[in-house]
A and B are shown apart, each in its own frame.
Chain A
Amino acid sequence: MKAFMQSLKNDKVGFIGFIGILLVVIVAILAPVIAPHSPSEIFNEHILQGPNAQFLFGTDELGRDIFSRVVFGAQVSLQVSLTAVGIGAIGGLVLGLISGYFQGKIDQIIMRVMDVFFAFPDILLALTIIAVLGPSLTNTMIAIGIVFIPVFTRLVRSAVMSVKENEYLTSAVAVGVHPLKIIAKHVTPNIMAPFIVQVTLALSGAILTEAALSFLGLGVQPPDPSWGVMLNASRAYMEFAPWTILFPVTAIVMTILCFNLLGDSLRDLLDPKLKS
């Protein structure tokens, strides 16, 4: 871990991404302290005001403080992406381990089901799941989580299959170690590198999908301060109040950018093929 942090420090681009994410996390955790107002507090006399000393990022069409909404929006974004990626990663890890380790019929069944899910474009699958569950914050997390399961399953499965070729595993099987113990002690630690890279990239994907679903009105529901919701609501006023979209857009782009920067660096760091 120490060596890992050291090499991350040496990689300037990845380090910038890491610091950026850290910043978003701090903002999200300290949102109630950082934000001067409640995200839903309405200031009737200050509707659509430009940035000023009282309202740092201006106010929106209902007279709410955009700065506070962007700050609390970080909370929503991180909450959705962490939960969604958690669902997708754990689901995919379990299915991929079973599929890749035991192979045979169970592998066939799991992979055919995954093929079916792969036949939907991501956003369409998420939309369909939302249509079934109904739009809400929780259901957005579940929908995005389910969308990620096939990606993780396929990744873990192929990593497990290549680890299985190693002699230390054959010998573990030969001396009669219990399969669950082999999976936990020998297989899982050895597939972590590609898994972690995928987690980082999925986090940025989740933030993007959440913003997209909320933008379409099928994700996080108003008055919850999601960046996607803010962007969609301000489209009607943006020509005479550009600040209403400028700040949520910047927040979305910067956050996704930082996750991608870190994800790229991690891939270069952890992929032995690229090390040379």
Chain B
Amino acid sequence: MLIPVLFGVSIVIFIALRVIPGDVAATILGTDATPETLAQLRKNFGLDLPIYEQYLQWIGGVLTGDFGESMRTGKEVLPDILDRFAITFELTILAAIISWIIAIPMGILAGIKRNSKTDFSVRVISLLGVSVPNFALATVLILVLSLSFSYSPPVGYVGFWEDPIRNLQILFLPALVMGTSMAGAVMRMTRSSILEILRQDFIRTIRAKGAKEKIVIFDHALKNAMIPILTIIGLQVGVLLGGTVIIEQIFSLPGLGQLVLTGINQRDFTVVQGAVLFIAFVFVLINLLVDLLYSYLDPRITYK
């Protein structure tokens, strides 16, 4: 399933970028390029070949780990994608962890204490979380920090292995923004799945047997509620991956999202198609992992 989808993605992205109006060679060389140099550049990029041959060449390279070279810088695309993915991945993971820390306990609490003040506040917070776009939150947060503490986000990026503390300092604010944005959805899902499970007969039976409330919640309700929660977490990681495009732009982080955005602005086909295919690959892989986790958590679900 994974492989046909990725082939589909590669075809869609490749054809899409080829039907963009305008000549890449002309955009790169500017207006005073001679027809000969234009033709030469097109030949270098293989743009003079029929589109299916261009695709076969590219996908053949991709399968052997060669994503081609940037049309702008001439640098190899794959190493650049991997370097930048490290940043995006770290940001996504940090954001996901922050959102779980906030959302899962609050969601459980709201589900257990239905219709209480806690429940009400959690619902308001989660609704706000779902309704405030991450770029709006980021902008307002930067504004508030700058006005009240004269704090501004650190400039320049440092890799985790170079200076872990500085690296975390740089990534904390963007991760916090993305994490709180995501927390709303996870909180809602946690609350509603806990509510759903607590209504079921087996919970009544366990309670009737005199089990402590702690055991009812943690050993039975939570374990069964994990499947819908996992679904939303899997989906949200995908949303996070997409969301990094904006957050990386706001916080000037050199991640994969920023690579795609500059690639689009500069019409750098090889970079855009490589990076998008890579993101789709990671996205599909995460969904697969979530599916596999399901069958671990619920043995009734099996995959052929």
Chain A interface residues (CB < 8 Å from chain B): 112-113, 115-117, 119-124, 127-132, 134, 204, 208, 211-212, 215-216, 218, 231, 235, 238-239, 242, 245, 249, 252-253, 256-257, 260-261, 264
Contact = CB atoms under 8 A, between A and B. Distances in A.
B217 interface: no
B195 to A, nearest CB: 10
Question: Would you call the interface of chain B mostly helix, strand, loop, or mixed?
Answer: helix
A114 to B, nearest CB: 10
Interface stretch (B4-12, B36-44, B70-78, B171-179): B4-12
B132 A121 contact: no
A99 B242 CA distance: 28
A208 B139 contact: no
B229 to A, nearest CB: 18
B260 interface: yes
Question: Would you call the interface of chain A mostly helix, strand, loop, or mixed?
Answer: helix
| 4 A-B pairs with least C-beta separation | A121-B242, A116-B8, A257-B131, A123-B242
A132 B12 contact: no
A24 to B, nearest CB: 14
B136 A127 contact: no
A238 B21 CA distance: 37
A260 B127 contact: yes
A219 B297 CA distance: 42
Contacts of A256: 131-133
Contacts of B241: 121, 124
Contacts of B279: 120-121, 124
B13 interface: yes
Interface string B142-154: 1100110000000
A231 B17 contact: no
A39 B49 CA distance: 48
A252 B261 contact: no
Chain B interface bracket (under 10, 10 to 19, 20 to 34, 35 or more): 35 or more
A112 B5 CA distance: 7
Interface stretch (B107-115, B155-163, B206-214, B243-251): B243-251
B139 A119 contact: no
Contacts of B246: 123, 212, 215-216
A249 B136 contact: yes
B136 A132 contact: no
Interface string B28-52: 0000000000000000000000000
Contacts of A119: 5-6, 8-9, 280, 283-284
Contact of B140 (A113, A132, A215, A249): A249
Contacts of A257: 127-128, 131
Given A124-B279, A245-B140, A239 B131 contact: no
A30 to B, nearest CB: 25
Given A121-B283, A231-B135, A249-B140, A127 B12 contact: no
A206 B4 CA distance: 29
B261 A127 contact: yes
B264 interface: yes
A255 B143 CA distance: 22
A113 B127 contact: no
